[in-house]
Amino acid sequence: MVVFLEFLNKIGFVKKVIECIPVRHRSPNSIPPAQTFVAFLVSVAAGARRFAQTSRLRGDRALHGLLGIDRFPSDETIRNLFLRFGMGEVQRFFEPMTEWMMERAPQRSEGHSPDLDSTVFQRHGQQQEGALKGYNPGRPGRLSHHPLLAVLAESRFVMHGWMRSGNSGTGRGVTEFLKEALALWGERGPLRVVRADAGFFDTELLTFLEERKLAYIVVARLTKYEKREVTRIVEWRALDEDYAVGECEIKLMGWNKARRFVVVREHIRDSKPSVGRKPIDLPEYAFRVLVTSLAAEPEEKWRDYNHRADRENLY
């Protein structure tokens, strides 16, 4: 926690919050809104998952000294602060904060790699707006939110995010979301490649990326037709005794052109679970299929995509 607080001080985070937060209190005895917001952030970093759990830090005088405060806000004070945030306050606060944070993203001559992903936020109770039943592997049938995120992989920086209802599909609204993310990013530097899992395998997204001249690597959603085309590949190049790579071009229904598919074939072993899909007519193999606009060797694109494997840990 000391390291985290030193980091916030070093980058001037608290000063920026004081500058941008749109809520003001008239009472001279109230805890300043910026101080309440930072206390909430520190509580989350310390493991709080509910407003009531923020009270655990009220008796930590050493922490109060590090924060430079005399009074730590109660959970009711923190809750009341967020109740004063409507859509207008959210935009007035987070737009300049996002701009400031993006300016701190490190420069990379080779470009950043935006990873598109979604996750599940489990919810409890009936009062949270947008919390609906949907995909929730942790607690099936319970309410949740299904946020959409764009993360710059190399700097582990959340570029943009949308909070969505729990019944939203993975790729719902992704093209409009990416337009916003690119507008926020502006001309800060090149984007090397956009990576996404099979939930984002969508004609509209691929076409949009090609129109913007953005390279992409997206996991293919395997239909019967795609499985058939993959199993027809004749030329396989062995990487080792368990892995081989191949490629083909496929024009799916509704597409205006064929696109490049790179395929990783893995020999199924009892000692290690396989990640790819297992066609019925080739039960000894599992296949990982990616669609890409890049011309590099298939194994390079596969390894490139695998670099996003720890993204869920970031969330």
Convert the pLDDT of each residue in 157-168 to its tens digit.
888 888 888 788
- Whole-prediction pTM: 0.82
**Nearest residue to 142 via CA among 156, 152, 128:** 128
How far is it, in rounded angstroms, from Cα 227 to Cα 161?
33
Q: Per-residue DSSP letters for the chain?
A: -HHHHHHHHHHTHHHHHHHH-------TTSPPHHHHHHHHHHHHHTT--SGGGGGGGTT-HHHHHHHT-S-PPPHHHHHHHHHT--HHHHHHHHHHHHHHHHHTSPP-TT-B-EEEEE--EE--SS-STT-EE---SSSTTSEEE--EEEEETTTTEEEEEE--BTT--TTTTHHHHHHHHHHHHTTSS-B--EEE-GGG--HHHHHHHHHTT--EEEE----HHHHHHHHT----EESSSSEEEEEEEE--TT-SS-EEEEEEEEE--SSS---SB--TT-TTEEEEEEEES--S-HHHHHHHHHTTTTHHHH-
- Predicted confidence at residue 280, as pLDDT, reads 45
Residue with token string 């590090």: 66
Q: Between the CA atoms of 93, 98, 104 and 109, what dihedral angle is there, to the nearest 10 degrees?
A: -160
Categorise residue 47: left if φ over 0, alpha if ψ from -120 to 50, beta otherwise: left
**Nearest residue to 155 via CA among 99, 106, 217:** 106
How far is it, in rounded angstroms, from Cα 263 to Cα 245?
6
Q: Determine contact, residues 304/217, Cβ cutoff 8 Å.
A: yes
How far is it, in rounded angstroms, from Cα 315 to Cα 306?
17
84-99 b/e with 16+ CB inside 10 Å = b? ebeeeeeebbeeebee
- Predicted confidence at residue 276, as pLDDT, reads 59
How far is it, in rounded angstroms, from Cα 20 to Cα 154?
28
- Note the Cα 97 to chain centre separation in Å: 18
> Which tokens in the block code for residue 310?
């720890």
Query: How many other CB atoms are found less than 10 A from the CB of residue 234?
Result: 6
- Predicted confidence at residue 216, as pLDDT, reads 96
Convert the pLDDT of each residue in 177-211 to its tens digit.
999 999 988 888 889 999 999 999 999 999 999 99
- HSE-CB at 63 with a 13 A cutoff on CA atoms is 18
**What is the widest separation between alpha-carbon atoms in the chain?**
77
- Predicted confidence at residue 27, as pLDDT, reads 85
- Note the Cα 183 to chain centre separation in Å: 17
- pLDDT tens string for the chain (315 positions)? 788 888 888 889 989 999 999 998 888 888 999 999 999 999 998 888 888 888 888 888 888 887 888 888 999 999 999 999 988 998 899 889 988 888 888 888 888 999 999 887 777 766 677 677 777 777 777 888 788 999 998 888 888 888 888 788 888 889 999 999 999 888 888 899 999 999 999 999 999 999 999 999 999 988 888 888 888 888 999 998 888 999 999 998 888 899 999 999 888 776 666 565 555 456 777 888 999 999 889 999 999 898 876 655 665
